[in-house]
Amino acid sequence: MFTDPIVLIDQTLDNLEALSALFEDENDARTVRSSELTARAQRCRDAQRAIAFLLPKLRAARLTQMTNPRSRSCLTCD
């Protein structure tokens, strides 16, 4: 199965951005102090922070792939 890395990264970016928006709806950090968060809200906040950390790295990886002449990779090849 061959997958274009740029397409895979774009899909991942889209999915993570959507997930981050869901977590933001669940936990609005602007109106709630950290000490008042429930355990679930804390997990949502932590996940949202992790996603915010990953997004720039994925965008940088996408730019790297755009300059790489090899545009396809096999996911099941050895």
pLDDT at 36: 74
Distance CA 27, CA 13 (A): 21
pLDDT at 45: 87
Per-residue pLDDT tens digits for 7-55: 999 999 999 999 999 888 877 655 566 677 788 888 888 999 999 999 9
In angstroms, what CA-CA distances link 11 with 27, 34, 77?
24, 32, 22
The predicted model scores a pTM of 0.71
Q: Say whether pLDDT at 71 is over 80.
A: no
Q: Say whether pLDDT at 78 is over 70.
A: no
pLDDT at 53: 96
